Structure 1
Amino acid sequence: MKVALLEPLRVPKDMIDKLAQPIREAGHEFVYFEEKTTDPDELLKRSQAADVVMIANNPYPKEVVEQLKETKLINVAFTGVDHVAQEAAQDKGIQIANAAGYSDQSVAELVIGLTLDLYRSISQGDKEIRKESFPGMIQGNEIRGKTVGIIGTGNIGLRTAELFKAFGAKLIGYNRTEKEAAKELGLTYLSLDDVLSQSDIVSVHLPMNDETRNFLSREKLERVKDSAVLINCARGPIIDNQALADLLNEGKLAGAGIDVFDMEPPLPKDYPLLHAKNTVLTPHVAYLTDEAMVKRAEIAFDNTLAFLKGQPQNIIN
């Protein structure tokens, strides 16, 4: 069989070669493209005759998937797969695998980092101390004793809850199905409205799909306390970001730490959250640590090897 890795995975090439060695030793062909492309024609060209196509967060659109002839697996080295034409793959009988679990720690740590920045005005304090006329001290808040609402208690949500618990926070959460691991951690499941209205810190950890698009509408966001902060390191379109910006500017929300948006950075200059008060914004980097990239590559190649052995794993369709 032929395996084609269509884009770099942010690890050294010698690591790619090492991970690909078992594929080649088993008699399969492995090709690796070191430059990223979003051009559909080039993506199709790179995918030609490949039984397994490996990508990361590069868009893999319908116009490409519909023309695949040999491909049996689209192996996504990412947790979310909303950038892949899933319906087209389903129609052609192509399986999709993901690399869930690689970034649990990195995302959870950035959630804590954004919360601390909002609570202790770290970014703002850095700006203030550099001014010629120092305006004075900024008084902050502690996480200890606060109520943290985890919306989505999958692996990343659970890891985030564990870190907040270490700070001494009270945990509540919302999920379609209650997880025993979350309950063992001390998290109390409530309705979405109750989580939003009772939380001092709301942390979003939902996957992106048709059901979760605009999940936190203005109506839902208005249930959040004026004194609360909201953190989103999941997917941008889960939240009505125009409404979020409006509520921040109206003083109906104390702050927001946002890593994901309605599109990938760079953002247009008129993007609402760029002009919202009390925000800390990062350019979709929650998943992006050296450690997470190594783990991601390992999971992705494990998925490929398992498929080649007739034992597919981490299939999501």
Structure 2
Amino acid sequence: MEILAFGVQSDEKPLIEKAFAGQHDVRCLDVFLNKDTAPIAAGYEIISTSVNADLGAGVLQTLAAGGTQMIAQRSTGFNNIDLDVAERLARVSYYSPYSVAEFAWTLAMAVNRRIIRAASRTRDFDFRLDGLLGRDMRGRTAGVIGTGKIGEAFTRIAHGFGMELLGWDVAENPACTALGMTYVEKERLLAESDLISLHVPLLPATRHIIGADALARMKDDAILVNSSRGGLIDTTALVTELRAGRFLGVGLDVYEAEAGLFFLDKSLEGVDDDTLARLVTFPNVIVTSHQAYYTEDAVGQIIDATVRNVADYLAGRRSDNVLVPALPAR
């Protein structure tokens, strides 16, 4: 059987081809699945998609009309999927949480120590320290919103820095509590934290969890990091606060309107997103293109899970990765 994989990065292609070798042929496309590209899948029973795929009702109906029976998404999040329309779909329920947690800390330290500005200066042989003053993390307070696997990994690193730990989640993680984390109301976490990192999924209840009110509660010199989903932050409200001179730094690996932008080269045509264009002009802001998960370890685990999802589908097995019912055994 030939499987069609959408949104495959150049680094991923040999890994995917190797993982399926001897089992199935795989056709890798660098285009992302959306309403315009969905017809390409006609005739493919199984397709694989990336995190930025559009799996709304219209796309799912086009896929079904073309004969697609199973979708294996190479990500854990599923906020891009209309689950009421999808019938047979599996995701990757788990991959290395350290990839995202470590990258979140990379963003935090980069804005704290002004790494981008410093590196840019030294390329011009400007070795002044003016404007590069950072601060120690030891003894300061880390606020972790969402303490699942990734939040726990982030917390362990914060503990290693010697930080005070505040957490907020629907349920406490005993591993975080054992590290000294105190679970508090979200309002207190926002008000007392020097560093706030987001690690919750994007759900109706968490969309814009960091909105105008939440931003107003934060310290003027706080650091905010988001390596989860862009929709957790009201970007327009964030820009308003940044224009007022607030926050030591903001590190964003995700953006709420990233679809159609992230993973693509827009350098020659530019973008017409005024909010994003303004956001990247702030010297205390770093925006990266949804790459926190992008390590050899995590991508390898994602691909291995995708191969297992396909095998489970063909065998009629249900696994923890299945979001909707599997087919009967074939």
Q: Which residue of 1 aligns with 2:80?
A: 83
Residue from 106, 124, 129 that aligns with 2:122:
129
Q: Which residue of 2 aligns with 1:60?
A: 55
* Residue 218 of structure 1 pairs with residue 212 of structure 2: yes
Q: Residues 11 and 293 of structure 1 are in contact (CA less than 8 Å); yes or no, is this contact kept in structure 2? A: no
- Report the residue type matching 1:113 in the other structure: T
Q: Percent identity?
A: 28
How far apart are the structure 1 equivalents of 2:194 and 2:153?
19
Residue from 267, 274, 298 that aligns with 1:270:
274
List runs of 5+ in structure 1 lacking aligned partners.
Answer: 25-29
How far apart are the structure 1 equivalents of 2:125 and 2:48?
52
Shift of 1:53: 2.8
- Report the residue type matching 1:98 in the other structure: R
What does residue range 96-107 of structure 1 map to in structure 2 within 5 Å?
A: 96-107=89-100
Q: Which residue of 1 aligns with 2:152?
A: 158
How far apart are the structure 2 equivalents of 1:10 and 1:300?
18
Shift of 1:186: 2.5
What does residue range 172-191 of structure 1 map to in structure 2 within 5 Å?
A: 172-191=166-185
What does residue range 194-273 of structure 1 map to in structure 2 within 5 Å?
A: 194-264=188-258, 265=261, 267-268=271-272, 270-271=274-275, 272-273=278-279
Q: 1:165 to 1:268 in 2, by over 3 A?
A: farther
How far apart are the structure 1 equivalents of 2:142 and 2:155?
8
CA RMSD of aligned residues (A): 2.6
- Report the residue type matching 1:316 in the other structure: L
Q: Which residue of 1 aligns with 2:313?
A: 307
- Report the residue type matching 1:256 in the other structure: V
Q: Which residue of 1 aligns with 2:290?
A: 284
List runs of 5+ in structure 2 lacking aligned partners.
Answer: 325-330
Q: Residues 9 and 293 of structure 1 are in contact (CA less than 8 Å); yes or no, is this contact kept in structure 2? A: no
Q: Which residue of 2 aligns with 1:43?
A: 38
Q: Residues 248 and 255 of structure 1 are in contact (CA less than 8 Å); yes or no, is this contact kept in structure 2? A: no
Give the TM-score of the pair, scaled to structure 1. Answer: 0.86
Q: 1:219 to 1:8 in 2, by over 3 A?
A: same
- Report the residue type matching 1:61 in the other structure: G
Q: 1:66 to 1:167 in 2, by over 3 A?
A: same
